[in-house]
């Protein structure tokens, strides 16, 4: 079995940087080696030029000797030939096993032969046939020496041009590789580091908006993957804590509603008691029609009390979030029945919702939304006023619900923080600041959004946008 090694982020960055540095050092080493070779070639080229000039000088004194038979010309010729030999030896010492070595050895052999011909020529006293033969051979040897020296110069010059061309190509190649690495490395950094960070940043922004969405964990096999996994764990924990806050707010609302429910139950119970006493007192009279009317009254008041208790029980029951088609008007009416005791008598409740308006929702959660909004609206109204709940469909396959009140309104600087958890404008002890935050979270779970429009002294309108069709969970 092969063991998979997981490198941490620091190791990956260090490996990438080391590879980049090693690549640069490798390029520098190869380029430096080529430059050193070029430097050696330039030195050999200088010696080759010098060798060619020395041979030309030796040939010039050769001509003077042949024309004027001067001893000084012969001596100068021999001196330049000695320089030629030492220069060839110096080039051979520098060139080693280079391609010019055979050419230099051939040139050295020509110099030795040329020098021998000059020696023989200097010993002849007469210009006879032998003299002329040696002169012809000498000139032929001198021409070969000159040609070899010129060939040597041309060869070295071509070698330098070839190396320079190679250096240019290497420079272009290394530059291309360096640019490519400069592009690939940031891309790797972006993919391995910055891309996960951007995902986490966006998810954090969603959390700030109340959307607790897990992120896709990128398999980087390093600390970034661990951070993303830890982030998802944090999101799940935050969602659980938010559910606890919601339940806490619900329990607080139940406590508030209980007093109102007791008041709402008091009236039907009084009516039941009164009707029962009247029926008992009239039982001996034997008027069946009157007794039936009393019994129907008892039955109606019993159903009325049952609906009140049923609504409170449904609101307090803990259920998993689930979308199912439901009539909006029924949810709103149940909400109004539960909070009716919290609304002052001089505040009118107006509901304008089509009876057939149905769309996917969690009725219990939506009931909690309307309870919170109605209580907030009632608390913002001083004296008489109106709370109006209207709903309609728009062309974008959305349901728009407006909860409007004629209260004091909301200051512009406050509106941006209304849905923040624990933010409240009420006096200390008068509110938890969770009501509108809970509303916002429930609307987000329904894939909708809620906004507020208000001017101080002109009331407030909460606009809820909800989809008509079911959407997949994010």
Q: Of all residues in the chain, what percent carry a pLDDT higher than 70?
A: 76
User: According to the model, what pLDDT value does residue 216 have?
Assistant: 72
Q: How far is CA 338 from CA 259, 313, 315, 326, in A?
A: 10, 11, 9, 19
3-class secondary structure, 111: helix
Helix axes 71-95, 101-123, angle to 10 degrees: 160
Mean pLDDT score across all residues of the chain: 78
Between 471 and 338, residue with greater pLDDT? 338
Output 183 or 147, whichever has higher pLDDT.
147
pLDDT at 263 over 60: no
pLDDT, greater one: 145 or 96: 145
Q: Which domains does the chain have, with CATH numbers?
A: 9-194 (1.20.120), 230-318 (1.10.287), 323-474 (3.30.565.10)
pLDDT given at position 398: 92
pLDDT digits (tens, 9 = 90+) for 430-439: 444 566 777 8
Q: Check residues 176 and 203 and name the one with the higher pLDDT.
A: 176
User: Is the pLDDT confidence value at 277 over 80?
Assistant: no
The answer to whether 231 and 239 have CB atoms below 8 angstroms apart is no
Q: Is the pLDDT of residue 198 over 70?
A: yes
Top-confidence residue, 106 or 187: 106
Burial call 347-366: b when 16+ CB within 10 Å, e when fewer: bebeeebeeebebbbbbbbb
Q: For the chain, first and last CA: distance in Å?
A: 39
Residue 309, both tokens: 């208790």
Share of the chain above pLDDT 90, in %: 12
pLDDT at 236: 78
Task: State yes or no: pLDDT of 463 exceeds 90.
Answer: yes
pLDDT of 404: 93
Cα torsion angle, 177, 179, 184, 186, sign: positive
| 0.75 exceeded by pTM | no
Q: Please tell me the predicted confidence (pLDDT) of residue 412.
A: 81
Average the pLDDT over 119-148 and give the result: 86
Q: What are 397-425's pLDDT values in tens digits?
A: 899 999 999 988 888 877 777 776 655 65
CA 3 to chain CA centroid, nearest Å: 30
Query: In sequence order, which residues have a C-beta less than 8 Å from that of residue 27 and are 6 or more positions away?
Result: 170, 174, 177, 178
Give me the pLDDT at residue 271, please: 67
Specify the DSSP class assigned to residue 360.
E
In sequence order, what DSSP letters do the residues of 169-230 get, joined into one string?
HHHHHHHHHHHHHHHHHHHHHIIIIIHHHHHHHHHHHHHHTT-----PPP--SSHHHHHHHH
Distance in angstroms (rounded) separating the CA atoms of residues 346 and 387? 11
Q: What is the pLDDT of residue 2?
A: 43
Q: Which residue has the higher pLDDT, 286 or 366?
A: 366
Among the ranges given (22-31, 278-287, 450-459), the one the predictor scored with the smallest mean pLDDT: 278-287
Reported as a single tens digit per residue, the pLDDT across 66-87 is: 888 888 988 998 999 899 989 8
Query: How high is the pLDDT of residue 39?
Result: 81
């Amino acid at each position: 079995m092969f063991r998979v090694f997981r490198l941490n982020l620091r190791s990956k960055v260090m490996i990438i940087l080391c590879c980049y540095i090693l690549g640069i050092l490798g390029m520098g080493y190869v380029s430096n080696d080529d430059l050193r070779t070029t430097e050696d070639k330039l030195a050999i080229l200088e010696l080759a030029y010098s060798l060619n000039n020395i041979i030309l000088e030796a040939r010039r004194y050769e001509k003077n000797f042949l024309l004027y038979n001067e001893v000084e010309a012969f001596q100068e010729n021999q001196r330049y030939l000695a320089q030629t030999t030492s220069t060839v030896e110096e080039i051979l010492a520098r060139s080693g096993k280079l391609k010019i070595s055979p050419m230099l050895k051939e040139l050295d052999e020509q110099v030795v032969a040329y020098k021998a011909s000059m020696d023989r020529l200097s010993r002849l006293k007469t210009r006879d046939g032998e003299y002329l033969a040696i002169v012809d051979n000498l000139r032929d040897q001198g021409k070969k020496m000159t040609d070899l020296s010129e060939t040597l110069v041309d060869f070295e010059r071509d070698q330098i041009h070839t190396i320079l061309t190679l250096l240019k190509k290497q420079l272009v190649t290394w530059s291309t590789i360096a640019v490519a690495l400069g592009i690939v490395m940031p891309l790797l950094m972006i993919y391995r580091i910055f891309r996960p960070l951007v995902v986490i940043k966006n998810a954090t922004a969603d959390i700030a908006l109340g959307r607790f969405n897990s992120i896709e964990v990128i398999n980087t096999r390093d600390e970034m993957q661990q951070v993303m996994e830890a982030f998802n764990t944090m999101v799940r924990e935050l969602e659980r804590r938010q559910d606890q806050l919601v339940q806490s707010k619900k329990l607080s609302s139940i406590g508030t509603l209980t007093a109102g429910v007791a008041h709402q139950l008091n009236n039907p119970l009084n009516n039941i008691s009164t009707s029962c006493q009247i029926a008992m007192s009239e039982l001996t009279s034997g008027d069946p029609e009157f007794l039936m009317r009393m019994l129907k009254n008892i039955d109606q008041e019993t159903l009325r009390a049952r609906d009140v208790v049923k609504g409170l029980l449904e609101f307090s029951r803990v259920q998993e979030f689930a979308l199912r088609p439901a009539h909006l008007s029924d949810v709103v009416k149940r909400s109004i029945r539960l909070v009716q005791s919290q609304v002052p008598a001089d505040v009118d409740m107006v509901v304008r919702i089509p009876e057939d308006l149905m769309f996917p929702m969690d009725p219990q959660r939506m009931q909690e939304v309307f309870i919170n909004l109605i209580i907030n609206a009632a608390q913002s109204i001083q004296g008489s006023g109106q709370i109006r709940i209207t709903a309609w469909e728009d062309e974008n396959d959305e349901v728009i619900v407006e909860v409007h009140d004629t209260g004091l309104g909301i200051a512009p600087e406050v509106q941006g923080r209304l849905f923040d958890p624990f933010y409240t404008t009420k006096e200390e002890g008068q509110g938890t600041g969770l009501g509108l935050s809970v509303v916002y979270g429930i609307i987000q779970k329904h894939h909708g959004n809620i906004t507020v429009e208000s001017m101080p002294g002109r009331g407030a309108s909460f606009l809820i946008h909800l989809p008509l069709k079911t959407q997949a969970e994010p």
